[in-house]
Amino acid sequence: MTHTPQARVFTEVVLEVFKLSGLLTAEGDRLTEAHALSSARWKILGSIAQADSPPTVPQIARVMGQTRQAVQRLVNVMHADGLLDFLGNPNHKRAKLVALTTNGKRVYTQLEKSQIPWANQCAGHMNRKELETTLSVLRRISHLF
């Protein structure tokens, strides 16, 4: 069996996304270095900061496309570092809610100040329509899984 022409291009897209993931992780690590964080920890801070209400670890894992166990390990370390706090969850006895501490909010705000000029510079190489189309296609691919 051979790839259809669409499947061949889809495979190229997947390979490019893998490459981009590595490049973005390296950029994230560079941007977070001054705060002694990694891009993985930044993603957790962002996932919590952008949530409408404090999420559970499984909810954070779903947003990030990671396993609950991997996210739990990072959340525990970030809690010990004073970036996150655990709150009681009225909907579940064992699945605690995760919130940013005052220090976690401060660090996230500082990271945003680094990310905004970086995003503005990167976005300057594309037009808005291209970015909107890319976002739409990536979301459609994500929904396949």
Would you list the DSSP string of 53-115? SPPBHHHHHHHHT--HHHHHHHHHHHHHTTSEEEE--TT-SSS-EEEE-HHHHHHHHHHHHHH
pLDDT in the model for residue 32: 94
User: What pTM was computed for the model?
Assistant: 0.86
pLDDT in the model for residue 93: 82
> Does the pLDDT value for residue 91 go beyond 90?
no
The C-alpha atoms of residue 16 and residue 9 are separated, in whole angstroms, by 10
The pLDDT mean for the chain works out to 95
Residue 21's pLDDT band, with cuts at 50, 70 and 90, is very high
Q: Give the CATH fold of the 31-143 domain.
A: Arc Repressor Mutant, subunit A (1.10.10)
CA distances 55 to 42, 48, 69, 85, 108, Å, are 16, 7, 15, 11, 16
Instruction: Write the single-letter amino acid at 114.
Output: S
List, in order, residues 6 or more apart from 22 with CB less than 8 Å away. Answer: none
Mean pLDDT in residue range 79-106 = 95
pLDDT in the model for residue 92: 86
Residue 88's pLDDT band, with cuts at 50, 70 and 90, is very high
Distant-in-sequence contacts of 96-103, Cβ < 8 A, 24+ apart: 96/56, 96/57, 97/53, 97/54, 97/55, 97/56, 98/48, 98/54, 98/55, 98/56, 98/57, 98/60, 99/48, 99/54, 100/45, 100/48, 100/49
